[in-house]
Structure 1
Amino acid sequence: MTTSETDPQHRAGEPRRRGLLRGVLVGLALLVWLAFGAFGGMAQGTLSQVQENDAAAFLPESAESTRAAELAREFTESETLPALVVVTSDDGGALTEEQIGAGQAFAEEIGALELPDGSEVSSVLEGSVVAVPSEDGEALLIPVPIDAAQADVLLGDDEERVTVAVVEAIRDQAPDTLTDAGLTAWVTGPAGFVADLVSAFGGIDGILLAVALVVVLVILVIVYRSPLLPFAVILTSVFALCLAALVVKPLAGNGVLQLNGQSQGILSILVIGAATDYALLLVARYREELARHRHPAAAMRVAWRASLEPIAASAGTVIAGLLCLMLSDLGSNASLGPVAAIGIVASFLAALTLLPAILLVAGRRSRGIFWPRVPRFVEAGHQADDAKLGLWERVANGVTRHPRRVWVITALGLVALAAFVPTLRAEGTGEADVFRGEVEAVVGEEVLSEHFDVGQVEPIQVVVAEGSADAVVAAAEGVDGVASAAVYTGESAGGPPSDEPQEPVVVDGHVLVQVVTEVSAESQEATGIAQDVRDAVHGVDADALVGGAAAERLDTQLTARQDLVTIIPVVLLVIFVMLVLLLRAVLAPLLLLVANVLSFGATMGLAALVFNHVLDLPGADATVPLYGFVFLVALGIDYSIFLMTRVREESVQHGTREGVRRGLAVTGGVITSAGLVLAATFSALAVIPLLFLLQIAFIVAAGVLIDTFIVRSLLVPGLVHDVGRPVWWPWARRVPHDERRNAAQAAPAGTAKS
């Protein structure tokens, strides 16, 4: 042994050098995350600028409506997205000559309205704007044809932004021009719906995040009973979201990913929920270790290593499940997978780098962040036995005392709820049903349908060979719900006939048949008519292509249903493999997977009851079951992972049945808190006034609570305890044989060496 090794000054210098290195690492981590926060915060605030909310843009190229749209563009000189201004008298009666004149004057003013960039509305219009009286004389219709191609040239390839600007300009000007004449105007049609949809998503950057963070903060204050620690966890979530936005925005802006309002909202909630869950697990283990280690850094080192595996397994499982969405043929689903996966990676990194740095920034005084409930160091062998059992220790004792009775009764209850799944109406909804509450586009469409033939606005488009035109027209006119069908001659569908016969427009031997429906193309009824038209014309010409707005919605719903069949088995297989690698067993992962699938079924059954009989909703989007499955199975399995990794740790020392009891008792509090946080954050999606997000909020929140309080607390521990040591098959030899239950329960839970 050298002199330097025995020198007291040398021995004293080692801790100082380690402390200096630790301080440098903590400071470096904080500086890096501050940079992420600075640049990522700006990216998060402008993330909505790279959204794409056009449903047609997400359809695969192979979809029939997509192929029809490509060919249909060749029949017209330009592609327009009409805003429909419907004007009625305030007294609901027939319009006077003065009121008709005021409406026509307003139509002439629209082209001169100013856009945000200083240009006039006329610069993005195709043709003139005129007012058309209704046959009953009680309304005026002012079609405003927005030229998408011209908008791209003048305003930088942002059709959606231009559409919103035009609609807002008209809505702002209408009261000033029409009120004195006793008239009221509504802006509806395709452009009106786009504007209201963008407006609904506008709350994502502000209201949604504010509500989610406040709810999480309140829960954390209750859980930790500390004024300081909750802010450390909240900061971790916020900086994780900034990092995710910093990565997602350039990818979406350059077309690598497609980001819509739904994906952005889900990304925000998922990051906040996941980062908080990971933080809760790390902080809980850190608090345990503070009682065993004098220096907070030593406690964090042990807690970090012990938490790394379950947090990494949880994040990896969720990421793998989300990436399975890339198998979807819908661009909105396929892009959500990588977008949400980026969010989970950011949450994982923040929880394991930023949070430890925040918790250790005060050095030896770092325990103070738990104030006023500061954990005290207790010398080995001097831990006091607390005669009073905690809540989760009592639950663990109750479950393991009658495990079979517990898991059988629990499973039967979940099966009873799952029996209502067939009653869930998830065939799809119309555009008017997408919004919760009253919006101008929906009200305007109702007024429009009272006075005009709304099916003329966006007719079903059928591209067929010229020789089949007459037979296709006849077949389409024979479909219930079709008002008329005619070959396109250069005039609008349903428009006034020309004085002279017009020849059909022929392109490469094909003609365009426009089928006018009796209902609006934005309705779900039109979607069903599009399917009937498609069946009818295919019977005449198998090569005919049916497109249009209603057909695009039909293809979206059909693709979403096919995604369920394709993606669900892959998600189950991927998660099963991840669990096998984590738990080093086959039977235990199989039991966990079955339990979580049963939990998903029970959640969807409960959703069917609530949606149909409590909230009386018009139905559900066809993608709701897929999103619900991916989020619930991927996220719900997290709580079983947190439980079973601790059960395995305890089982190696004490046997499986005692390991179940100890694992449930020790993890019950933190996992329950994590479940409450995740349920609360997803519930925040309900503040966005859209049907889809309300349904996802309910399904995920209810499912997480079922997973937390029923599946993880009763079903899984009861089942694993009942099976015993064979649950670790085929590597059960690593786990000792279970002792007799009475002897196993003699030792207090939570005393296993960590």
Structure 2
Amino acid sequence: MSARPRPPAGRHPRALRSLATVPGGRRGKWLVLAAWLLIVMALGPLAGKLGEVEDSSANAFLPGKAESAQVNTELEKFRGQDEIIPAVAVYSRDDARTTRADAAKAGADRTALASLVPEGQKIAGPLPSDDGKALMLVVPLTTGSDDFTADLEKVRDVAAADAPSGLDVAVGGPAGSLIDSIEVFGDLDTTLMLATGAVVTVLLLITYRSPVLWLFPALSVGFAAVLTQVVTYLLAKYASLPVDPQSAGILMVLVFGVGTDYALLLIARYREELHRHEDRHEAMRLALRRSGPAVIASAGTIAIGLACLALADINSSRSLGLVGAVGVVCALLAMITVLPALLAVTGRWVFWPFVPRYGTEPRAARTVWARIGGLLQRRPRWSWLMTVGVTAVLALSATGLTMGLTNEEMYQDKPESVVAQEKLSAHYPSGSSDPVTVVVRTAARDEVRQAASAVDGVESVRPEDRTADGRLTTLSVVLDDAPDSEAAKKAVDRLRDAVHQVEDADALVGGTTAELLDTRRAAQSDLRTVIPVVLAVVLLVLIALLRSLVAPLLLLATVVLSFFGALGASHLIFTQLLDFPAMDNSLPLMGFVFLVALGIDYNIFLMTRVREEAALHDHTKGVLSGLASTGGVITSAGIVLAATFAVIATMPLVSMAQLGVLVGIGVLLDTFVVRTVLVPSLALDVGARVWWPSRLGQAPTTVDVRPAKEREPEKV
């Protein structure tokens, strides 16, 4: 069948045509570059202020409506502007009782640290353990000091200095845990940006094998990163956009990865058009018009999918979703404006040494992707059934997941606060270093205290503090078990049941154990709420883009299957290679949203090209030509995106490392399995009916019966 003429540019939406003429125009390119330079010069200083609007409080990572979050809010009434957070120093001997010298050391430390204690507070201890093998010193610190971090470091320095031989000393407690957490996130934004930038640069050099071309997508992504930080800062400051250190760090990875993907797609199409058109401005305008719908649909799908996380109850999930959506939109704006303008200014020579010459073929006809297409065409049903089977086997590995990380399991490298908690758990009632906090009306304090003391799993209850007006009182409840243990969480449930029954007490139960419990339950609820919405939104976008009902359903099914395959493969890596004992509670939801949004990305790139080619030829050749023409660029894009998320896997926080591994594996599955084999073989097996009910769905599917050597599709 002879090929029909390529559809004229006028078939694309008028707004897109107008947009395409600006960055690729002879004068428009200069206007675009001037506008970007003015934006960066005027607003660039705001990019460095993003850290000022980041919320690193406990509530930033908790469910918004959780009882433990309400406790944190109520505690502000007790603290005023200054919060009292205790540091706990534990002095221990593993195989012997502590000595008089050990007690003298702890006593001397108490005297040396007295100057750090705020007015009205005092150091507790040294408190000996029941087994006689440990001493505990509780040092109250205030966030109102000139340098809370320096105070904690002084406690650690004093405790570690001149310790008797054989005495182990570690400082933890709430203050130690807070500072260790801050140190993890302290340079996270910069570290992730530099590491991701280095990875993207290396991969662009490998992809283009040009000493010049890689600079243009890298520079464009840099513009996108600045714009993203500025917009995020302004929205956080003036529109209450939630931003926490974790979402701010992952934001840069997402912008670099997605932005580079769009750059690869646009440059690949621009290279094709340079072979067909002598005028580089015309080539760029056509490249934008023909790749623009897929890029915009991809960015829209990712942004809308991430924005669905606004429905989540956990604040950190909401933050990551909304901040990520902002980043994707900013990356899109940069890639369809500043990148085309830069390429239009410089011309063909930037592709050196592989300069696309006008009137020559883009590539040799027989490519690896053409050969893969030929293999799939011979046995399409067998191909997709085998692919589904292999992915399903991987998915089975996800059965028996252990969810929920303890405090000791949150870090890849164990910080001092975790070491201190382990020693406290070994020698004291496990909850003594981090008791549960109960906020009650003062008038009902005694009744609540009595009810709490009778709860199974409670070791002791004592009053702590009152508000200035005397209306509220806090109770400190020490549990028998470690704060992050399942037994402690069950004890919190029993404690809540007991104190809630006290009339007119308005009792609220919070603290670390309650926060872990509330977060786990909210994560399960968010899965049931967010996932159906994400699937529905993505399906509607695909229907609008492909003008079909069958193809969107098939594509959505493939990315869901890919997610479960990635989850199973990640579980194997976590347990067999990385020795992670459990998955973070938020990982299934975050991984699902990222992988469905990013995974459908490559399906959009492939199927929009297939639809374009099917309109020119027939369905079968459209599938094969679409696979052959997009195979290289989508593979490069998938490797870049997976590599950028692999950077997150090197972070010290286990929850972030797990997200990086899961998304990286999922993207590779989408790139090499779903897009390469599963989707094309399904499209070939279903035939033109995949486009039903559009006009393409009524066209007959051409079956090429020529020998395989003669029916390899040409690269177009």
Partner of 2:402: 425
**Which range moves more in the overlay, 564-573 or 716-725?**
716-725
1:60 Cα deviation from its structure 2 partner = 4.6
Matched to 2:98, the amino acid is: A
Partner of 2:417: 441
Whole-Å separation in 2 of the counterparts to 1:694 and 1:89: 34
Whole-Å separation in 2 of the counterparts to 1:468 and 1:91: 42
Shift of the 522–90 alpha-carbon distance from structure 1 to 2, 3 Å rule, reads: closer
Shift of the 207–558 alpha-carbon distance from structure 1 to 2, 3 Å rule, reads: same
1:420 Cα deviation from its structure 2 partner = 2.9
Whole-Å separation in 1 of the counterparts to 2:24 and 2:255: 31
Are positions 1:558 and 2:521 aligned together?
A: yes
Shift of the 716–563 alpha-carbon distance from structure 1 to 2, 3 Å rule, reads: same
- Aligned partners of 2:24 and 2:285 also within 8 Å: no
Q: Which one has the largest radius of gyration?
A: 1
Among 570, 578, 596, which residue is 1:633 paired with?
596
- Aligned partners of 1:421 and 1:601 also within 8 Å: yes
Partner of 1:281: 265
C-alpha distance after superposition, 1:340-395 (max 9, x if no partner): 01100111011111111221222xxx21111111111117xxx5994x61111111
Whole-Å separation in 2 of the counterparts to 1:319 and 1:244: 13
Shift of the 90–21 alpha-carbon distance from structure 1 to 2, 3 Å rule, reads: closer
Partner of 1:29: 32
Partner of 1:116: none
Whole-Å separation in 2 of the counterparts to 1:385 and 1:708: 21
Matched to 1:132, the amino acid is: P
Whole-Å separation in 1 of the counterparts to 2:341 and 2:181: 41
Whole-Å separation in 2 of the counterparts to 1:646 and 1:376: 23
Whole-Å separation in 2 of the counterparts to 1:21 and 1:403: 41
Partner of 1:146: 141
Among 352, 362, 365, which residue is 2:336 paired with?
352
Other structure's SS at 1:483 match: strand
- Aligned partners of 1:36 and 1:246 also within 8 Å: no
Matched to 2:122, the amino acid is: S
Whole-Å separation in 2 of the counterparts to 1:146 and 1:20: 57
Among 521, 526, 540, which residue is 2:488 paired with?
526
Are positions 1:371 and 2:352 aligned together?
A: yes
Among 222, 225, 232, which residue is 2:209 paired with?
225
1:69 Cα deviation from its structure 2 partner = 4.7
Other structure's SS at 1:515 match: strand
Whole-Å separation in 1 of the counterparts to 2:474 and 2:60: 22
Count of residue pairs brought into register by the alignment: 691
Among 236, 260, 269, which residue is 2:220 paired with?
236
Among 122, 128, 144, which residue is 2:122 paired with?
128
Matched to 1:611, the amino acid is: F
C-alpha distance after superposition, 1:163-190 (max 9, x if no partner): 4343234335555x54699976432111
Shift of the 715–188 alpha-carbon distance from structure 1 to 2, 3 Å rule, reads: same
Partner of 2:656: 693
Partner of 1:403: 380
Shift of the 702–129 alpha-carbon distance from structure 1 to 2, 3 Å rule, reads: same
1:527 Cα deviation from its structure 2 partner = 3.0
Other structure's SS at 1:143 match: strand
Partner of 1:673: 636
Whole-Å separation in 2 of the counterparts to 1:144 and 1:165: 14
Q: RMSD over aligned Cα, in angstroms?
A: 3.4
1:227 Cα deviation from its structure 2 partner = 1.4
Partner of 1:488: 463
Other structure's SS at 1:94 match: coil
- The 5-angstrom pairing of residues 15-26 of structure 1 reads 22=25, 24-26=27-29
Matched to 1:516, the amino acid is: V
Partner of 2:18: none
Shift of the 719–131 alpha-carbon distance from structure 1 to 2, 3 Å rule, reads: same
Are positions 1:56 and 2:41 aligned together?
A: no
**Which range moves more in the overlay, 325-334 or 256-265?**
256-265
Whole-Å separation in 2 of the counterparts to 1:411 and 1:726: 21
Whole-Å separation in 2 of the counterparts to 1:194 and 1:489: 21
Whole-Å separation in 2 of the counterparts to 1:571 and 1:54: 28
- Aligned partners of 2:56 and 2:244 also within 8 Å: yes
1:246 Cα deviation from its structure 2 partner = 1.0
- Aligned partners of 1:293 and 1:299 also within 8 Å: yes
C-alpha distance after superposition, 1:167-221 (max 9, x if no partner): 234335555x546999764321111111111111234233322222222222222
Matched to 1:245, the amino acid is: Q
Shift of the 651–343 alpha-carbon distance from structure 1 to 2, 3 Å rule, reads: same
Whole-Å separation in 1 of the counterparts to 2:314 and 2:254: 21
Shift of the 420–137 alpha-carbon distance from structure 1 to 2, 3 Å rule, reads: closer
Matched to 1:310, the amino acid is: A
Other structure's SS at 2:431 match: helix
- The 5-angstrom pairing of residues 202-213 of structure 1 reads 202-213=186-197
1:535 Cα deviation from its structure 2 partner = 4.8
Q: Give structure 2 stretches of 5+ with no counterpart.
A: 1-20
C-alpha distance after superposition, 1:533-572 (max 9, x if no partner): 3356567879754322211221111111100000000000
- Aligned partners of 2:455 and 2:491 also within 8 Å: no
- Aligned partners of 1:433 and 1:618 also within 8 Å: yes
Among 249, 266, 286, which residue is 1:265 paired with?
249
Whole-Å separation in 1 of the counterparts to 2:150 and 2:27: 51
1:24 Cα deviation from its structure 2 partner = 4.3
Whole-Å separation in 1 of the counterparts to 2:615 and 2:453: 70
Shift of the 19–83 alpha-carbon distance from structure 1 to 2, 3 Å rule, reads: closer
1:131 Cα deviation from its structure 2 partner = 4.6
1:683 Cα deviation from its structure 2 partner = 0.3
1:139 Cα deviation from its structure 2 partner = 4.5
Whole-Å separation in 2 of the counterparts to 1:710 and 1:590: 18
Partner of 2:713: 749
Shift of the 173–516 alpha-carbon distance from structure 1 to 2, 3 Å rule, reads: closer
Are positions 1:343 and 2:360 aligned together?
A: no
1:84 Cα deviation from its structure 2 partner = 1.8
Q: Give structure 1 stretches of 5+ with no counterpart.
A: 1-17, 113-120, 156-161, 492-504
- Aligned partners of 1:193 and 1:431 also within 8 Å: no
**Which range moves more in the overlay, 410-419 or 389-398?**
410-419
Are positions 1:455 and 2:431 aligned together?
A: yes
Partner of 1:170: 155
Whole-Å separation in 2 of the counterparts to 1:701 and 1:695: 10
Partner of 2:16: none
Whole-Å separation in 1 of the counterparts to 2:584 and 2:69: 20
Other structure's SS at 1:449 match: helix
Whole-Å separation in 2 of the counterparts to 1:385 and 1:128: 77
1:23 Cα deviation from its structure 2 partner = 5.1
Other structure's SS at 1:424 match: coil
Shift of the 277–108 alpha-carbon distance from structure 1 to 2, 3 Å rule, reads: same
Whole-Å separation in 1 of the counterparts to 2:529 and 2:662: 21
Whole-Å separation in 1 of the counterparts to 2:345 and 2:400: 54
Partner of 2:9: none
Whole-Å separation in 2 of the counterparts to 1:34 and 1:108: 59
Are positions 1:107 and 2:110 aligned together?
A: yes
Whole-Å separation in 1 of the counterparts to 2:470 and 2:169: 39
Shift of the 47–478 alpha-carbon distance from structure 1 to 2, 3 Å rule, reads: same
Are positions 1:298 and 2:282 aligned together?
A: yes
Tell me the percent identity: 40
Among 610, 613, 631, which residue is 1:650 paired with?
613
Whole-Å separation in 2 of the counterparts to 1:651 and 1:228: 35
- Aligned partners of 1:134 and 1:451 also within 8 Å: no
- Aligned partners of 1:39 and 1:246 also within 8 Å: no
C-alpha distance after superposition, 1:209-265 (max 9, x if no partner): 222222222222221111111121112222211111111123334571222222122
**Which range moves more in the overlay, 36-45 or 231-240?**
36-45
**Which range moves more in the overlay, 99-108 or 586-595?**
99-108
Whole-Å separation in 2 of the counterparts to 1:173 and 1:461: 29
Whole-Å separation in 2 of the counterparts to 1:311 and 1:247: 21
Whole-Å separation in 2 of the counterparts to 1:19 and 1:645: 24
1:714 Cα deviation from its structure 2 partner = 0.7
